[in-house]
């Protein structure tokens, strides 16, 4: 087959891989993008590094044997709605937020050597053979140790997978063509830091477990090189979000919900590879990709 560039409206032969940390990351962060491409014929795959064990208190298990089992079930529900081709678990343990006792668990993702995790991701890259890979930005969106750990491992794996001198389960080398980091404009976060105290909320204690410090990352900006419109798949993203009921279904509450409605219906990315920034903002992650 001669090499040619394919638009996202014709997904034949195109494969997208998302490498993320917990069940719900695929939906709350990049669910619109994954659903958008899956509905255009792109094969969309997910690597999920942990089962999100720390994200749920035991009394909330709703009949499941463990929090990890429940969150995997929620992910399978969301994956079906998003139309993911396959989901691969790396089977590490959720590390919890920085400073928590879970950081010290020997099975925690954040406790693993980066090259070890990278080898697992690289082997799956060779198996799946995606043209485009997406993961978290360098601070993991909101400084979650697992997000940062899988970001670092994915960056290393991106290059490792294409190195024929590295042996990985006998799989032939494969070099994806593009690597993107999911990130967001910090305008929303900076506004939230100013407004939340007016509503009696502490921006240093947000999230399901009150362990997210909005002030620690509101001013850490990354360039946005690509914006994917998700307006056509907002219903699918909402339905997939509802699968993650243990995490509140992805709904922002109180004043944050009002601010969220002001955001455009898009998901945004920093392009890491090719490293030279595009001349203008991309609206297709497969722009320039050849098959």
Please write the tens of the pLDDT for every residue from 73-97.
Answer: 999 999 999 999 999 999 999 999 8
pLDDT recorded at residue 251: 58
Peptide bond into 274 cis (omega under 30): yes
Whether the Cβ atoms of residue 81 and residue 118 lie closer than 8 Å to each other: no
Banded model confidence at residue 7, pLDDT cuts 50, 70, 90? very low
Residue 242: count of CB within 10 angstroms of its CB: 16
Q: What is the mean pLDDT of residues 232-257?
A: 80
Paired sense of beta strands 178-183 and 86-92, if any: unpaired
pLDDT recorded at residue 261: 59
For all residues of the chain together, what is the average pLDDT? 88
More confident residue, 147 or 3: 147
Residue 81's Cβ-count burial label (10 Å; 0-12, 13-18, 19+) is: buried
Q: What is the mean pLDDT of residues 259-284?
A: 88
pLDDT recorded at residue 2: 32
How far apart, in whole angstroms, are the C-alpha atoms of residue 200 and residue 88?
Answer: 41
Task: Using the predicted structure, report yes or no on whether residue 46 has a pLDDT greater than 90.
Answer: yes
How far apart, in whole angstroms, are the C-alpha atoms of residue 148 and residue 60?
Answer: 27
Q: Which of 1, 179, 22, 160 is nearest to 93 (CA)?
A: 22
pLDDT recorded at residue 40: 97
Query: Among 3.40.50.720, 3.40.50.10320, 3.30.70.3270, 3.40.710.10, what is the CATH number of 15-184+223-252+265-273?
Result: 3.40.50.10320
Q: What is the pLDDT of residues 116-173, one digit of tens each?
A: 999 999 999 999 999 999 999 999 988 899 999 999 999 999 999 999 999 999 999 9
More confident residue, 209 or 53: 53
Reported as half-sphere exposure (CB side, CA atoms, 13 A), residue 6 has a value of: 18
Structure-derived torsion over alpha carbons of residues 155, 161, 162, 163, reported in degrees to the nearest 10: 100
Q: How far is CA 83 from CA 11, 32, 244, 248, in A?
A: 14, 11, 16, 22
Banded model confidence at residue 208, pLDDT cuts 50, 70, 90? low
Q: How far is CA 254 from CA 170, 197, 199, 226, 272, in A?
A: 52, 12, 8, 30, 35
Whether the Cβ atoms of residue 228 and residue 183 lie closer than 8 Å to each other: no
Output the pTM of the full model. Answer: 0.90
Q: What is the mean pLDDT of residues 24-46?
A: 97
Q: Which of 16, 11, 34, 19 is nearest to 241 (CA)?
A: 34
Which 8-state DSSP code applies to residue 89? E
pLDDT recorded at residue 252: 53
Q: What is the pLDDT of residues 174-207, one digit of tens each?
A: 999 999 999 988 777 787 778 778 877 877 776 6
Locate the domains of the chain by residue range: 15-184+223-252+265-273
Task: Using the predicted structure, report yes or no on whether residue 269 has a pLDDT greater than 90.
Answer: yes
Angle at 267 between CA 202 and CA 201, to 5 degrees: 10
Length of the chain: 291
């Amino acid at each position: 087959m001669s090499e040619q560039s394919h638009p996202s409206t014709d997904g034949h032969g195109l494969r997208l891989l998302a490498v993320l940390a917990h069940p719900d990351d695929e939906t709350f962060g990049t669910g619109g993008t994954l659903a958008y491409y899956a509905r255009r014929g792109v094969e969309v795959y997910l690597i999920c590094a942990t089962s999100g064990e720390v994200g749920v208190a035991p009394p909330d298990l709703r009949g499941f044997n463990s929090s990890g089992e429940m969150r995997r079930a929620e992910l399978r529900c969301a994956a079906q709605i998003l139309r993911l081709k396959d989901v691969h678990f790396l089977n590490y343990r959720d590390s919890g937020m920085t400073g928590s006792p879970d950081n010290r668990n020997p099975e925690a993702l954040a406790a693993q050597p980066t090259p070890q995790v990278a080898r697992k991701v690289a082997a799956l890259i060779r198996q799946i053979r995606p043209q485009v890979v997406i993961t978290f930005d360098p601070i993991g969106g909101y400084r979650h140790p697992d997000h940062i750990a899988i970001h670092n491992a994915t960056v290393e794996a991106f290059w490792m997978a294409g190195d024929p001198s590295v042996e990985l389960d006998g799989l032939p080398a494969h070099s994806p063509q593009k690597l993107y980091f999911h990130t967001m404009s910090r305008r929303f976060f900076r506004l939230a830091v100013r407004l939340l105290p007016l509503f009696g909320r502490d921006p240093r204690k947000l999230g399901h477990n009150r362990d997210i410090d909005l002030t620690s990352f509101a001013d850490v900006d990354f360039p946005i090189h690509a914006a994917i419109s998700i307006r056509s798949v907002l219903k699918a993203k909402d339905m997939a979000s509802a699968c993650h009921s243990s995490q509140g279904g992805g709904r922002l509450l109180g004043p944050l919900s009002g601010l969220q409605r002001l955001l455009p219906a898009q998901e945004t990315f920093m392009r890491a590879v090719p490293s030279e920034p595009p001349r203008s903002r991309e609206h297709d992650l497969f722009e320039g990709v050849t098959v």
